[in-house]
Amino acid sequence: MRVLDVGCGPGTITLDLAAIVTPGEVVGIEPVEGPLDAAREEALRRGDSVTRFELADVCALPYDDDSFDVVHAHQVLQHLTDPARALREMARVCRRGGWIAARDADYAAMTWFPEVPALDDWRSLYRRVARANGAEPDAARRLRGWAQAAGLDDAQLTSSVWTYADDSTCRWWGESQAERCTGPTFAAQAAEQGVSADQLARIGDGWRAWGAAPDAWFAILHGELLAQVARDA
């Protein structure tokens, strides 16, 4: 099998896929070099010299028609300005009878306890920033419409939930989100929405406070799309 992993990030899922399809080939792509460097380092750490990590735009893929058996995108469509176009490109490079697989979260449907006001501020801000970038943070509920717009009329749509509900996982999730929302990339985007560094710091503190709560609980709803490319397309 040949598998294309769209938006491979640091390559952990990509390399897990490679372990499953070996001796097949997996290609991971990102539109910027930074994550690809991390992915290549992870491949070296795992002793994987076959999996490739390449620079590519999912809306204009540099691959021939019918190049892959599976095209996979995890938490990618929510960040794109034209997810339907991306799905059409994914279908173009997928062989007839091959599979498109996508999974995306839905920020509006996320829920947590205890109720920390800073997390409400975070969600509101994140959704504003994402939409200012032309993206759609509430992606899960839109997968069916995007699939239809891409011509994937027989797509199977399902959902699943991630749940963080133990001390170590909640601390990790709280800290990782605190770092993400106070990091330079998000801070610059938040500043364009009139949010100060002090406000972001309070949101970060709120995430850490939530993660340290003995009864912390967080659930993330995901939409899942699985579509077979028509054999007679």
pLDDT of residue 233: 44
**CA dist list (Å): 54 to 35, 65, 66, 160, 207:** 10, 18, 18, 30, 34
Model confidence, pTM = 0.93
Q: H helices then E strands: how many in the chain?
A: 8, 8
Domains and CATH numbers, the chain: 57-228 (3.40.50)
pLDDT, averaged across the chain: 96
pLDDT grade for 192, boundaries at 50, 70 and 90 = very high
Cβ neighbours of residue 166 closer than 8 Å, sequence gap 6 or more: none
Give the chain's end-to-end CA distance (angstroms, integer). Answer: 20
Q: Say if residue 224 is exposed, middle or buried (CB neighbours under 10 Å; 0-12, 13-18, 19+).
A: middle
For tokens 């709280």, the residue is: 174
Give the start-end residues of each E strand in 1-56: 2-6, 25-30, 52-55
pLDDT tens digits, one per residue of 72-129: 999 999 999 999 999 999 999 999 999 999 999 999 999 999 999 999 999 999 999 9
